């Protein structure tokens, strides 16, 4: 028998793989996995370390009670082999807790927003005591009920006093609609512009497309941003044109009336352009009903 120094590199590698495989065969769960895959020992021995990882992942899962307890290297996933002719392919497969988590995440709106209050807003928690909000709350309830049968309703441009609950009320509506499977996006407009600007060389197109094509979109606090030709014409104009063409429900909140927004959008750093501003405003009018909310400051 040749010693290790007399073997070719390939022969030496095969012997090492075989030795590691034979050690792994001491584990009954490892044997069961190999038998289940229906591959020869020669094939299985090439993947000993990955198969051992699968066995360990499955052992971890056997006593796991929640995603937070996961001990696997990829949270909520098992590195699992699939036979592909005479080879094995390994993929990360989500456990039942991970699948549940992912399904729940699908029913949440994408939020380009900072406050947790917006993410967790619920229609059941809207303050009904202030009668000055009654007309807006009625409009929101009607939209919620009608959206079940008509996915192409007009949204609203909700403007009014600072801290009156504009963002909370519309976010609560959108969070509820997301639970029914609608693809919803809530964007705090100044923050969204910053995110898009920073993602030019990364995933700009993905982010922009998710905003533009959302089933329901809330543009929160428009009018609070610094206006540039790029943000007005290339970003906002592109988003609104698509949504107008596809008749997709679009919502806005602002401290400015629509006429005040027109003036705001006309002023960039170096120019005043009412023609381009008017184009944006016409799209806003096409997409929304104009609502005003004057109420006490809820942020006090």
Q: Name 88's bridge partners.
A: 83
| Rounded Cα distance, 292 and 128, in Å | 16
Tell me if 165 is assigned to some domain.
yes
Q: Are residues 89 and 121 in the same domain?
A: no
| Rounded Cα distance, 300 and 298, in Å | 6
292 Cβ neighbours under 8 A, 6+ residues apart: 158, 159, 160, 257
| Rounded Cα distance, 142 and 120, in Å | 21
CA atoms within 13 A on the CB side of 141: 9
Q: Are residues 48 and 147 in the same domain?
A: no
Tell me if 298 is assigned to some domain.
no
Q: Are residues 201 and 275 in the same domain?
A: yes
Tell me if 255 is assigned to some domain.
yes
162 Cβ neighbours under 8 A, 6+ residues apart: 255, 297, 299
Beta carbons of 295 and 164 less than 8 angstroms apart: yes
C-alpha distance from residue 207 to each of 159, 186, 219, 267 (Å): 26, 12, 14, 26
Q: Are residues 144 and 223 in the same domain?
A: yes
Tell me if 85 is assigned to some domain.
yes
For 130, other C-beta atoms within 10 Å of its C-beta total 14
| Rounded Cα distance, 254 and 189, in Å | 10
CA quadruple 255, 158, 131, 140: dihedral sign: negative
Residue labelled with tokens 């001491």: 26
Residue 204: predicted pLDDT: 83
Last residue of a domain, one of 93, 128, 160: 93
Residue 46: predicted pLDDT: 86
Tell me if 47 is assigned to some domain.
yes
Residue 75: predicted pLDDT: 86
Tell me if 208 is assigned to some domain.
yes
Residue 7: predicted pLDDT: 47
Q: Are residues 77 and 182 in the same domain?
A: no
Q: Are residues 193 and 69 in the same domain?
A: no
| Rounded Cα distance, 287 and 260, in Å | 18
For 248, other C-beta atoms within 10 Å of its C-beta total 19
CATH number, domain containing residue 186: 3.40.50.300
Whole-structure pTM value:
0.64
Last residue of a domain, one of 93, 120, 138: 93
> What one-character DSSP code corresponds to residue 217?
E
Q: Are residues 147 and 279 in the same domain?
A: yes
Last residue of a domain, one of 93, 116, 151: 93
Q: Are residues 118 and 43 in the same domain?
A: no
User: CA 247: distance to chain centroid?
Assistant: 22
Q: Are residues 106 and 182 in the same domain?
A: yes
Residue 2: predicted pLDDT: 46
Q: Are residues 64 and 112 in the same domain?
A: no
Tell me if 184 is assigned to some domain.
yes
List the chain residues with pLDDT less than 50: 1-4, 6-7
What is the extent of the structural domain holding 21?
A: 9-93
**Total domains present in the chain:** 2
């Amino acid at each position: 028998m040749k010693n290790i120094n007399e073997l070719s590199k390939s022969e030496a590698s095969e012997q090492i793989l075989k030795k590691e495989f034979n050690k792994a065969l001491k584990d009954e769960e490892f044997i069961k996995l190999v038998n289940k895959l229906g591959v020869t020992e020669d094939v299985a021995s090439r993947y000993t370390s990955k198969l051992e990882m699968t066995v360990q992942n499955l052992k971890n899962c056997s006593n796991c009670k929640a995603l937070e307890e996961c001990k696997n290297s990829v949270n909520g996933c098992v590195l699992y082999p699939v036979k592909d002719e005479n080879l094995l392919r390994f993929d990360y497969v989500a456990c039942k807790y991970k699948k549940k988590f992912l399904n729940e995440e699908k029913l949440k709106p994408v939020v380009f927003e900072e406050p947790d209050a917006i993410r967790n807003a619920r229609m059941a928690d809207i303050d009904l005591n202030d009668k000055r909000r009654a007309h807006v709350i009625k409009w929101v309830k009607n939209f919620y009920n009608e959206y079940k049968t008509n996915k192409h309703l007009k949204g609203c441009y909700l403007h009014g006093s600072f801290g009156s609950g504009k963002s909370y009320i519309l976010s609560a509506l959108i969070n509820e609609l997301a639970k029914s499977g609608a693809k919803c996006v809530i964007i705090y407009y100044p923050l969204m512009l910053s995110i898009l600007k920073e993602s030019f060389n990364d995933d700009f197109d993905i982010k922009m497309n998710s905003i533009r094509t959302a089933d329901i979109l809330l543009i929160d606090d428009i009018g609070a941003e610094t206006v540039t030709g790029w943000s007005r014409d290339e970003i906002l104009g592109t988003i609104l044109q698509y949504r107008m063409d596809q008749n997709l429900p679009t919502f806005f909140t602002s401290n400015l009336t629509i006429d005040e927004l027109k003036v705001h959008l006309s002023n960039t750093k170096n120019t005043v352009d009412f023609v381009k501003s008017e184009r944006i405003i016409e799209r806003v009018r096409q997409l929304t009903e104009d609502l005003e909310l004057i109420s006490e400051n809820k942020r006090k």
